[in-house]
Structure 1
Amino acid sequence: MLRGFLWALCLCFSLPTWAQSQKVAYFELETTAPKHRNTLEMANPIVWQQLKTIEGVSEHVLTKRDVRRLKKCKGKTKCLKRWLKKRGVFALFYVKVTDRDEERHAGISFRYLDVNGGKRFKNHNLVWTYDADLLNYDVEVLVRRWLKPRSLKGTLKVTGLTADTQIWLNETPLSEGLMKEVFTKQMMAGTHSLRVERNGYVPYAKNFSIDHRKETEVAVDWRIDPLHEMNQGLGEFNPERTEVLIGAGVAGAGALTWLGAAIGTLVIGAEVEKRAQAQMLFGETHEELVRQGQTAAWVANAGLGLVAMAAGWCAYWGFTPEEESP
C-alpha cells in the first residue's frame, strides 16, 4: 500500500452559526516517504494560507488528548463526528500525498468531513504539476467551496451592447447595464443565465459559468428580427388617400347590399314558414318565394365578399407610402 503524509486540518466552529474566530489545526497521522517530502513542504503552507484568507479562521492547537482521540478513530466518520461535536469543531480536513503514476508524479488527495454533512468524506484529487500558482488557486477554490461557498466569486463581462439594450441575469431585470456598450458584474461562482433584448432584434439568451477570481466574457450576437423589419417597411395608415376613399365607398355599398339582401332573406323566410304552417308548400307562389330567397341569399354573400375585398384594398393602399412627385 502506498504510504504518504496524512494530516488533518481542524476548523473550530461554534454551532449552529459561525463564530467570530474559527480555529484551524494540523494533525500529523503518518510520516511521508522521502520522495514526497518536498511536495508536502510546499503544499502545507499553501493550504494553511488559503484557510487563513477565509474570514474568521485562525489556528487551533491540538491537545495530547485530541491527538490520542483522532488516532483512535482511524478515519471512521462516526467516531470523528462525535469528536467534532464534543470539541466544538466544525470540520476536519485530511490531506494525503501519494504516488500518482509510474513517472513518480505526486497526487494530492483531499478529504473533508463536517458535523452538518453526510456520513461520508468529500473527496477531491489533484495532480502535482510543479506549478505552485496553479496549486494555490486549486486549493483556494477547494477550501472555499467546502467551507464558505458564497465567497467564491468571479466577474461577468458582456460585450456588444447598445444604449437601448435590456439585460436580465438569472431572470432578474437589471438597470445598471443600460447606456453601456460593455457590462461587468461580480457574481458568485457557478452556472447562471443571461438574456438581453433590443428593439428590432431577436432576443439573445445564453447560460454561462463563473469561475472563482476569473473573468467570463459573453459577446452578444445580434440577429435582425424579420418580423420587425417587415413592420418597418409599412408606413402609417393614411385614411385620406384617394384609393382608400374609393375603397371605403365600395365597402359601404357592399355593406348596404348585404344588409338589404339579409333583410329580404329574413322576410322571405318568415313567409315560407307561415305557408309551411298552413301546409301550402306547393304551387307557383311557393316556388317563386324559394327563388327569391335563394337570390337574396346570393346577393347577401356577394355584398359580404365585396366588403372583404374593399377592406383589403383600403389596407393595402392605406399602408403603402405615397410616392413623392419630382
Structure 2
Amino acid sequence: MTSGPDHQPDALADWLGIRARISWPSWSSTRPDSGAPAYDGFRDFFTTTRGSRDPEGTRRVLTALGTALADADQGERLDFALLTNWQRTVLHRASAPFRTAPAFAKAGRERYGLTPRTEALFEHCLSESAQPDLPLPSRAARTYLDVLFFHPFEDGNARAAMLALAFVLAREGAPPRPGTPPTNHPLGRRRSRRDRPRGTPRNPDPHGGAPPVGRKAAMTERDVILNELAQGLRPVSEGIEWFDGLGPDEQSDVLRFLRHHCVQARAVAEDAPESIRRSGLRPTHTPAVLISRGRIDMQLGKIAGLRPLDERRKAFRLLIAVLSIADGRRRERFCSGGCGHWWHDLPAAD
C-alpha cells in the first residue's frame, strides 16, 4: 500500500538502524545431510495461505517460485531486476517498478519512507544476500526482512519477501526439491547415474560441508527434461509427447521457463534462422514469424504466450531449438574448461 498518513515513524529507517547493530549468529559452515525433506515448505505455505481464497493468484506465485528456484540454480545474483521479474508474474503485470511514494502496511499503521537513496540502498542490501562471512540462515532471514521493510512494490511485498527467501536458500542448496513425474510417465524414468541414495548431493563436499552452488536440490525434473532435449540427450519426439500430456496451465509454465532459460543463455537475434531450421517449422508459422521480428527477449516472451494448442506445440519446438543454440554457444565460449552449471553434466537419458 502506498497511501496513508505521513506523520508515523519511519519503520524502514528503524529497520536499517537495527540491521546495522544486530550481532548475527555464526557457526561452522559444516552441516549434516539430513536427507530429503518430507515436503516443499514454500509451496505448502503459498498453497495453504492463499489457495482457497485466490486460486489464480496462487498459481501465479507458484510459477514465480519456480522461476526463482531456476534462477538460483543458475547462480544468478539477487538484485532488484531479478525480483521485479518474479513480481511481474505474481501480479500479472507488464511492469513492477520501484514505488514512488512512501508505503504503508498493517492498515496504515506502519510507514516505510522514501528518499532519493532508497532504491540504491535496497540494491546494496540485496547484494549482501551473498555476504561470505555470514551464515546462510542469517543472510536468508535478513534478506526476507529487507524486502518487507523496503516494501519496494505497490503490492505483493510479502510474497516478494518469501520468494527472495526461497532464492537465497536455493542458491546454496537448502530448499526441498519439488515433486517429479511418476516413474511410469514417459519422461519420469530415472536417468543413468541416478543410483545414489535420495537426498545425496551429486558432488558432496569431501570435507563434510554443504554441496557446492550449482549442484543443488532446486534442480527440477522439468529443468532436466528441457536441458536434455536442448542438448540432444533425449529425442524431441519424446519431448513433444511429454508436452502434449501436460495441462494448459502446465504447458504455459513450461513455455515461460523455456523463454527464461533462453534469455539466461544469452540468445541473440541472429539465432532465429538456425532455430527455425532446427525446429522444423516453416518460416510462415506464427512462432517463426515472431522470432524474426523485434528484440529477441521480447519476441521470445510473445512466443511463450501463444495460446492455441497447435501454436504452443510449435512454440515448444522452437524454444527448445533456441536454447540448444544459445546454451551450446555459452558452453563452447565460457564452459569448455569446466563450469558449475549442473545441466552441462547431464548423461544421456535412458
Same fold (TM over 0.5): no
More helix by share: 2
TM-score interval, normalised by the smaller of the two chains: under 0.3
TM-score by length of 2: 0.22
Q: Greater relative contact order (Cα 8 A, min sep 6): structure 1 or 2? A: 2
